[in-house]
């Protein structure tokens, strides 16, 4: 399977109070169409990744609304899968092309989160948990991931500073990304002394509440358009589900869905894990990046944090991870995150990532999670210059 990514577009991530959810979606979509050197009329369908539009803005039926804004009358649908909504929209777009139904589709991931208070947004986000077991007992996603963090630190004999290394690294990457919500560096001391949210996770261990949108144009075949970008291909795509409730899992220090998804994606791509040059992984909390990297198979259990501290996951390290700044520092508009991850990989594989460019990047991986790891979506991308 090879699905071409012809165009990419992304808004600034942050607190964008002057723009509506549809404004953001339109901005990213227009940028992606322009990047592909296409016209809107050449699209066959629109897939919108979004989780919270109803809860936060009162607006449902996003597919039709965004199609209207773009002045298109084509199949348009919203895909919801919690924080994996963006990657699920990409997955669905790929299925639509692979089935033969569509030739060219627009993927938009979008979220408008900052119009409500933090408490209201956190309550809405808990819709991605097991409400009758977790939400009803007052748990938040910070506390769910804190349970994972406590179990992990105890199991592998690590300290809170080992988690903090992830935040330091991702903020460093974000300082090189002009579209990031927090484009500045932080020190280990700042992370460790930041206010506690859910022991052992501090505020600088947590991704922020964010507005933003990201868009892709996917195609069955490569276009030969003068001035157009050299396409990047999606060569592997997998979506796997695990239990929704954390208590139903055998081991909360690993992600079964991620382990299964990477196996399927690698098999589809026809490559080995060792061939992957960089990765964008789901770091909604610092512990999530560590567990994700180990569940993907990049590091042995209990070692990803130490590898991070050694600089192995920096953009100039042996396995660059979250060169965009990740969810932690680039921002986490939940419906847009999975699409943004792929955009970062495209920039890297095109050689357009600027100061954070990974040398000789040819194959990249994106891993997007829904809930506490109950949904995992993995995509593998290949640059056209890869032999």
| Catalytic residue positions, numbered | 83, 332
Q: Can you tell me whether residue 47 is helix, strand or coil?
A: strand
Return the percent helix, strand and coil in the chain, to nearest 5.
40, 20, 40
Q: Which of 22, 15, 26, 36 is nearest to 218 (CA)?
A: 36
Q: Can you tell me whether residue 159 is helix, strand or coil?
A: coil
Q: Which helix (H) or strand (E) holds 106?
A: strand 104-111
Return the HEC string of 205-262. Answer: HECCCCEEEEEEEEECCCCCCCCCCCCEEEEEEEEEECCCCHHHCCCCCCCHHHHHHH
83 and 282 Cβ atoms separated by less than 8 Å: yes
Length of the chain: 387
**Between β-strands 232-241 and 278-280, what pairing exists: parallel, antiparallel or unpaired?**
unpaired
Question: Where does residue 386 rank: exposed (0-12), middle (13-18), buried (19+ CB within 10 A)?
Answer: middle
Q: Where does 242-374 show beta strands of DSSP type E?
A: 278-280, 363-370
């Amino acid at each position: 399977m090879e699905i071409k990514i012809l165009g990419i577009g992304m808004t600034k991530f942050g607190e964008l109070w002057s723009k509506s959810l549809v404004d953001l979606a339109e901005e990213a979509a227009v940028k992606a169409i322009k990047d592909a050197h296409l016209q809107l009329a050449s699209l066959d369908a629109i897939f919108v990744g979004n989780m919270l539009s109803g809860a936060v803005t009162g607006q449902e039926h996003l597919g039709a609304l965004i199609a209207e804004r773009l002045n298109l009358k084509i199949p348009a649908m919203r895909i919801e899968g919690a924080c994996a909504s963006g990657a699920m929209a990409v997955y669905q777009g790929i299925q639509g092309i692979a089935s033969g139904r569509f030739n060219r589709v627009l993927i938009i991931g979008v979220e408008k989160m900052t119009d409500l208070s933090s408490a209201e947004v956190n309550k809405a986000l808990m819709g991605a948990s097991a409400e009758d077991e977790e939400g009803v007992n007052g748990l938040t996603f910070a506390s769910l991931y804190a349970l994972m963090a406590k179990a992990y630190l105890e199991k592998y004999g690590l300290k809170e500073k080992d988690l903090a290394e992830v935040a330091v690294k991702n903020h460093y990457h974000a300082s090189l990304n002009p579209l990031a919500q927090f484009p500045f560096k932080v020190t280990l001391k700042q992370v460790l002394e930041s206010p506690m949210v859910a022991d052992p996770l501090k505020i600088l261990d947590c991704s922020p509440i964010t507005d933003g949108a990201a868009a892709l144009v996917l195609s069955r075949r490569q276009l030969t358009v003068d001035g157009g970008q050299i396409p990047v291909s999606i060569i592997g795509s997998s979506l796997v589900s695990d239990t929704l409730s954390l208590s139903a899992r055998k081991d909360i220090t690993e992600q079964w869905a991620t382990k299964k998804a990477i196996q399927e994606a690698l098999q589809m791509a026809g490559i080995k894990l060792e061939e992957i040059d960089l990765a964008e992984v789901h770091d909604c909390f610092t512990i999530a990046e560590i567990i994700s990297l180990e569940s993907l198979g990049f590091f042995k259990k209990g070692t990803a944090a130490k590898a991070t501290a050694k600089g192995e996951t920096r953009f100039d390290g042996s396995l660059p991870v979250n060169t965009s700044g990740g969810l932690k520092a680039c921002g986490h508009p939940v419906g847009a995150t999975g699409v943004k991850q792929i955009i970062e990989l495209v920039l890297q594989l095109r050689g357009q990532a600027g100061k954070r460019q990974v040398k000789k990047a040819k194959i990249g991986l994106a891993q997007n999670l829904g809930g506490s790891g109950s949904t995992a979506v993995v995509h593998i991308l290949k640059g056209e210059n890869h032999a």
